Amino acid sequence: MSTLINPVEPFLRTDRMPHIWCPGCGIGTTVNCFARALVESKLPLDKVAVVSGIGCTGRVAGYVNLDSFHTTHGRAIPFATGLKLANPSLHVVVYSGDGDLIAIGGNHFIHAARRNVDITVICVNNFIYGMTGGQVAPTTPVGATATTAPYGCFERPFNLPFLAESSGAVYVARWTSFHVRYIAHSMVEAFQKKGFSFIEILSPCPTLYQRRNKMGDGLDTMRFYKQRSIIKNGARTQDVDINLQGDIIVGKFVDIERPTLQQSMDQQLRQTLKDRYTGWGGA
């Protein structure tokens, strides 16, 4: 009798299962997409490193069977910047949540995009702080409630694709955890892209966001994503704001070419220093 192995199993640290994510949570779905994207992209797995910050999505680094770094809150991108510059042969993927990447880590996000650091940033956006118990985030839609916004969020949230594009990202896409094939396809494209690529994945947090906001469970959220998502590849990112119950514009919004940080550094220093310039590793 042959044993059936889930095709994503080799990509996971199965000795760490079960994972910590709640039933209905979308993070595991995105990890499944990530594993499939790794298969499809044929990246050498020994050369793929995952860097996470803190939070529910921050735990992804702990479950992928790759070189993986669970860093401090908000600082996955600076870690990834150092890792990539020190070891340019690596494919560095930052995998973290909206609170980690955009609130406490927001400054690093815009600067890494500006520099065009050659990394892929995957942001699982569940509109809430999950691990700490459901606090308001800079992504929480106006009117949604959270433990620290008990009467409704009154701050305008960030539009992440717009933020990424304005800051200099060369690849920007948004999907929901309903769009599994699109997610995997975008990840493959992002891995192949030179420069700062960004994928936002809207994902349910049934335990803390959907339940509190009377939006049902994980399955209801999938239905909501299915019904309300509109695929608009190439949409202007300033037009893709998210409202509490409104339509969700998804798709690939940005795919441009621009020299990476490493390329710009090499070019500038070589131009100025000529043969005195010694590239990384004495080259």
Residues that bind another protein (CB under 8 A): 13, 15-16, 45-47, 49, 51, 61-62, 65-72, 74-75, 77-87, 89-90, 107-108, 111, 265, 269, 273, 276-283
Our CB check for another protein shows the closer of 214 and 276 to be 276
User: Minimum distance between the CB of residue 130 and another protein, rounded to whole angstroms?
Assistant: 17
User: Minimum distance between the CB of residue 62 and another protein, rounded to whole angstroms?
Assistant: 6
CA distance 4 to 59: 27
DSSP state of 1: -
User: Minimum distance between the CB of residue 202 and another protein, rounded to whole angstroms?
Assistant: 27
User: Minimum distance between the CB of residue 154 and another protein, rounded to whole angstroms?
Assistant: 28
CA distance 144 to 131: 18
Say how far residue 136 (Cα) sits from the centre of its chain.
Answer: 19
Our CB check for another protein shows the closer of 90 and 215 to be 90
Our CB check for another protein shows the closer of 108 and 193 to be 108
User: Minimum distance between the CB of residue 61 and another protein, rounded to whole angstroms?
Assistant: 7
CA distance 152 to 11: 40
Are the C-beta atoms of 143 and 244 separated by less than 8 Å?
Answer: yes
Our CB check for another protein shows the closer of 142 and 265 to be 265
User: Minimum distance between the CB of residue 90 and another protein, rounded to whole angstroms?
Assistant: 5
Our CB check for another protein shows the closer of 87 and 135 to be 87
CA distance 250 to 246: 13
User: Minimum distance between the CB of residue 35 and another protein, rounded to whole angstroms?
Assistant: 14
C-alpha distance from residue 248 to each of 146, 239, 269 (Å) = 21, 10, 44
56 Cβ contact list (under 8 Å, min separation 6): 20, 21, 25, 27, 97, 124, 126, 130, 131, 205
3-state secondary structure 118-162: CCEEEEEECCCECCCCCECCCCCCCCCCECCECCCCCCCCCCHHH
CA distance 241 to 14: 38
Our CB check for another protein shows the closer of 47 and 181 to be 47
Our CB check for another protein shows the closer of 51 and 149 to be 51
